[in-house]
Each structure stands twice: as C-alpha cells, then as structure tokens.
Amino acid sequence: MRSAQSTNCPSDRMYVAPRSSRLWAGFVYILFFMIYAASFVWLLTYLSSSSPLSHRSDILFTYAVLPDVYWTVGLDRLSAFFALIIVFLGLIVQVYAWGYEQKVGGFKGFFEGLLLNAFIVSMLLVVLARDMFFFLWAWETMSLLSFVLLMKKGDEPAVAKAGTLYVIMTHTATGFLFIMFLILARLSGGSTFPEMAHMRFYIPPSLAAGIFVLAVIGFGTKAGLVPFHSWLPEAHPLAPSHVSALMSGVMITLGYYGLLRIVYDLLPPAPLWWGILLMVIGAATAFLGILYGLTTSNIKRFLAYSSIENSGLLALALGSAWVAKAWGADELAGTFIAAFFFHLIVHALFKSGLFLGAGVIEHVTGTLDVDKLGGLMRRMPDVATMMSLFFATMALIPPLAGFTGEWIMYRSYLDLLRVSPDVLGKMGVLMPILVLAFSGMMTMGLALKHFALIFLAAPRSKEAQTAYPASIFMRLALYVVAFFLLVLSASPALTYHLSASLALSFGLMPREPFFTEFFPLWLVTSIPVLLLVFITVRLKFGRPKVVHEPIWACGISPHPHVQVTSYAYSQSLALLFKRILGFKIVYRRVSSEQVDEDVKKYVPVRLFHQSKLKDWAYEGLYVPLARYIVRASERIRRIQSGNVQMYLAILFSVLLLLLWWISPRFWR
C-alpha cells in the first residue's frame, strides 16, 4: 500500500492495491493488449491491400449450432474499418484501465479485466457476424455486457435507474431487429446475409419501407437518435470512464454499422424519402443534443449529450448521401459517405479522449461537477494540455480534424443546393446547413465553458485544491489519443483517403478533398516560421516579468464561490429555449455558510437555485407508455385466478383461434 504523499490529499484517494494482487488484472490487460496490437496491424494491412472497389464479404468460417441454425463469420472493408476502431480503442483502454483500477486487486481485478475485454470482443463479433442468429446473439451479448459494466455501482439508486432504463430500451430495440430479420429470412428462405442479399432487388417497396423503419428504430436506439436517446445521458455518466469511452466512441456507432449493412447489402436502393427521414431525425438529434448539454454541470453527462449531437451529425451525412443519390448526384453522395466516415473516426478519437480525461479528473478529485473544480491546470498541466486539444477538436477549431470533417459537409451541402431539382429541395438542404452552424456555435461555447471551469480560475472545493497527479498509465492513454489526433489533424488527406475508399466500396466515387481551401500553402509554411520566431524571441528575452497584485473585489476579500458558475455561462440560452427543453429554475433560501465574515452582516442568507430539465421523449413518451403497460398487465393478471377450469377454457379458446387461422390455408 502506498501512503499519501506531499500533495495533502486524502489517503483513501491515494490507496493502491498491493503489487502482487494487481498482477492478476495486469495479466489480462497485457494479454489483450498484445492481441489487439496484432489485430490492429493485420486490419491496417487488410484495408491497405484489399481493393476499394470490392464490397465482397470473405466468409471466414461457418459453424452449425443447431439444425438449420448457423453462425457465420465474414470480413469485408466495412467490417474491417469498424473493427480497426474497436481494437484501437481497445488498446488505449487496456493501458488506461490498468491505472484506473489500481485500487482493485486479486480475483476481482482479474474478473473485471475479463469482463471489459469480453465487451470489446462482443463488439468485434457484431461487425464480423454474417447471419441473423449470430448477429443477434453478438448484439445482445454486447448490450448485456455493457449493462453489467454500467451496474458496477449498482447499489446507488441513480445507477439502478439508469441500468433499468438502458436494459429495457436496448432489449426493445433488439425486438425490432428480430422482427426485421425474420421478415428478411422469410423472403429469402435463409438466415445468412449472402442468402438475404440475393433477394434484395425483389422485395416489394412497401415491405422494404417497413424493414427500413424497423432498422431505424432498432439501430437508432443504439446510436442515440431522437426520440430513442433517453438511455444515453443516464448511462454514460455513471459507467466507468473507460467503459464510457468505448460506449461513446464505438458502441453507438455500431448502430450505423448495422444500418449501413442492412441498407446497402440486404435492401433495394434507398428511395428519396429514406434519406429525408434520416436527415430530419439527424437534424432533430443534433439540435436537441447540444441544447440539452446547456443545462448540465456534470462533465460526463455533457459529453453524453455531445455524443447525441454528433450522432445526429452522422445521421445527417448518411441521409444526405441517400438524397444526393436519389437526385442523381452520385459524386456528391460519395462525398457525404466519405464525410460520414471521416467524422466518425475523429469523433471516436476526441470523444474517447474526453471521457478518459474526465475519468482522470474524477479519479483525482472524486467529483465530476464542474462547479466544484477549477485551477486544475496547475495541478495537472499535462492533462490540461491534452484536454485542451480534445476540447478544441470538439469546438471545430481549425486546422484540427474536427473542423476538417464538418467543412467537408458544409461544402457538400453548398454543392447539393446547386443540384437540387426544385425550390422545395433547396429549402430542405438549408435545414442541415443551419443545424450544422447552430451546433458548431453551441459546441464551441460549451467546450470553452467546461475547459475554463475545470482547469482555469481558482479551485472551488477542497478536492480540487488537493488534486494529485494521476497514474502514469492513465496519462499515457491520453498521450496516445492526443498523438493520433494530431496526426489526423496534420494529415487530413490520409483520413479522407481511407474514408473515400470506403465510399468506393459502396460504388460511389467521392470528390477530391477541399483541403487546399483551408490549408493554403502560405498557411502551412507560416505556422512553423511563426513558431520558430516565437521560440527565438522567448529564448533571447526570457519570460516576461509577472507582477502579482491582490484582486479588487468591491472592498471584500475574493472568494472562489463568487466565480461564474456553469449555469451562469449558459443561463440566457437555456431560458431562450426553455419551452423546447422544458427548463425551469427552482429558488429557495438557505443559511449562508460560504459567505465571508465581512459581508455576512449585509448578506445574512443566500439564495440557492436549482435548474431542472424535462426530457420530452422520456417524460412525454416512455413514462406514459410504461404506465399504460403496467395498467394493462394488472388487468391481465386477473386471469391468474388459480381456477383450473379457467385455464383450460383459455387454452381451448386459443386453440380454436389457431384452427380458424390455419383452416383456410389447410383446405386450400
């Protein structure tokens, strides 16, 4: 056990399990780190060597589980792309979890390491599955394992509520997917994806529309699309940070993997209204997601709302590709698909980095409330530097990769305006442009708000004042994510080439990148020159002299609690959209314990306010539905009277109904 050091932090936060006890968990993390590293190299080789024009799925093996029930595993470029992201984040998480779980040793640490990697492997099986039975099994396994990881603190009421909501919504979504696959299997006469693909052009349009709607509901729930998003802001803040990074960086994007697999492999070409529907859902998701992020002071809850917003942007790009294809602009459709994959890569990197960074902050301070933080840049300068990079990427600061992905979308929408066939189409294209502009503006302000409240100003609590440096393994994971994010930002053409090759595998040729428009030669060459001039001046003249003077605070001593709070940053916007958000403020007076002695005679009490947010989808849709189901269940339960004659009568009635249903088919 390591004792508390000179950081004056509580000893319970510094506790580390004995080295011999931590070896059990370390063995798991090292083993899977090597497996994921080898897989990462192999997948990179596969993507670079396979032809972008081929969308053929290589069947690796087929295993008969039961008669006429097979588990088929295959690989193509789409599967390899998602598997590459999964194993990369799996690599990062192995390093991070080794430091995050230092308090856990023995068999418990070994079991938690196995559970975490079982979750990662289940996501890999989802993208490798090539038949409905194996896909649904892997999908449910992924959902159940993420639920178990979420319920690590299941004794807390908030965790129990979030876990219950998550498991109900994810199982309901799986039910829609099961119905969808049953219809496809009935039409094709087989359960494997290649067998279903043979019948894709013979599916009636009305039936294809029903299958598409089932896919949007089933996969959209996992992707966090409105109105199926309610589980996401409840689950992500309560899960361990490395689990949240996997859920936000990879798991929600698997909803889009499933949608791409169904639409491009198993259904006829998407008509115009499919793209319009997905664009409307994506616009609503992006708009509401970033609005909900206004009202929270919890770091991880804000990141969860940001994931909803980015999921909406992905839906916008994918729906726009189908609209462009329906309008005959194949090149624009390919560009939207490339922008979709580009943004997916960037989001997986910066959002996982932000969740891991939030875990570091929670680990060393014990809180995720930004109103109790502040001044952490002095305590953790390296973490603050990397988090500034992640927040800047989220805020679309050029020339970082986050700006690059959305710039491709902006330019594509301007070109889509020119090819739209009528005035109504042009007005429809303006909607995603306005949503992109609004979400970008709001994201920039909220990213600045959270970085300033966490790392700048003065500490607002004892925990922030006594924060100690985090484990080297946790910081090393942040270093790796930051490094790759800088590589993507410095060489956007590399990422765009990979994204364009995936668009080519769907038979769509994207346009050339627009990088020269915001990466002109003079800008690229001036950045290192200006940096060299700055270093030369700094070395020659040294650091400027800093004079420390007391702050004037209207005649009273400054106090950390008079700083701007999270709510004060976004109050005006929250009140502006209060009818959409269901936002209201509750005021009450409490005794003043944190007011300075010299002003207590002027301020005997302080006014405390609490903001409340109404999730219209949860409270307006799911709560009434749950109440109706409970009432219906109570009425049905009356049948369970204990009377054998009643049970026999019910069985006889059901038998008569079945005979009535099959009798015309039998006699025909």
The predicted-structure confidence for 455-492, as pLDDT tens digits, reads as follows 887 787 777 777 777 788 888 999 999 999 988 888 88
- The residue ranges of DSSP E strands in 164-264, in sequence order, are none
CB-neighbour burial class of residue 654 (10 A; exposed 0-12, middle 13-18, buried 19+): exposed
Partners of residue 585 on adjacent β-strands: 611
Quote the CA–CA distance of 539 and 537 in Å, as a whole number.
6
pLDDT at 65: 65
pLDDT at 615: 72
> Of 451-460, 508-517, 518-527, where does the model show the most confidence?
451-460
pLDDT at 202: 87
Quote the CA–CA distance of 190 and 69 in Å, as a whole number.
10
State how far the alpha carbon of 84 is from the alpha carbons of 81, 131, 242, 250, 552, in Å. 5, 21, 18, 10, 55
pLDDT at 529: 67
Mean pLDDT of 208-224: 93
Q: Is the pLDDT assigned to residue 538 strictly greater than 90?
A: no
> Helices in 511-643 by DSSP H: which ranges?
515-518, 521-541, 566-576, 578-581, 616-617, 623-636
Contact 345, 314 (CB under 8 A): no
Phi and psi torsions of 641, nearest 5°: -95, -10
Please give the structure tokens belonging to residue 250. 């990879």
Q: Among 276, 170, 291, which Cα is nearest to 223's?
A: 170
Quote the CA–CA distance of 500 and 152 in Å, as a whole number.
40
pLDDT at 653: 86
- Which of 23-37, 194-208, 297-311 comes out lowest in average pLDDT? 23-37
- DSSP letter for 265, please: I
- DSSP letter for 62, please: E
- The residue ranges of DSSP E strands in 372-461, in sequence order, are none
Quote the CA–CA distance of 288 and 309 in Å, as a whole number.
7
Quote the CA–CA distance of 110 and 101 in Å, as a whole number.
10
Instruction: Give tens-digit pLDDT for 169-187.
Output: 888 899 999 999 989 988 8
Contact 505, 77 (CB under 8 A): yes
CB-neighbour burial class of residue 277 (10 A; exposed 0-12, middle 13-18, buried 19+): middle
**CB-CB neighbours of 23 under 10 Å:** 15
Tokens 């159940």 found at: 144
Instruction: Give tens-digit pLDDT for 151-163.
Output: 876 566 777 778 8
Quote the CA–CA distance of 169 and 258 in Å, as a whole number.
17
Quote the CA–CA distance of 81 and 304 in Å, as a whole number.
24
Which residues are CB-neighbours of 573 under 8 A, at least 6 positions away? Answer: 294, 442
Instruction: Give tens-digit pLDDT for 234-258.
Output: 888 888 888 989 998 899 999 999 9
Quote the CA–CA distance of 236 and 358 in Å, as a whole number.
12
Mean pLDDT of 15-41: 74
Contact 150, 162 (CB under 8 A): yes
Instruction: Give tens-digit pLDDT for 567-626.
Output: 777 777 777 777 777 666 655 554 555 555 554 555 545 555 556 666 777 777 777 877
Please give the structure tokens belonging to residue 416. 């889509």
Instruction: Give tens-digit pLDDT for 125-157.
Output: 999 998 888 999 999 999 999 888 888 765 667
Q: Is the pLDDT assigned to residue 87 strictly greater than 80?
A: yes
Quote the CA–CA distance of 667 and 209 in Å, as a whole number.
33
CB-neighbour burial class of residue 565 (10 A; exposed 0-12, middle 13-18, buried 19+): middle
Mean pLDDT of the chain: 80
3: confidence class by pLDDT, cuts 50, 70, 90: very low
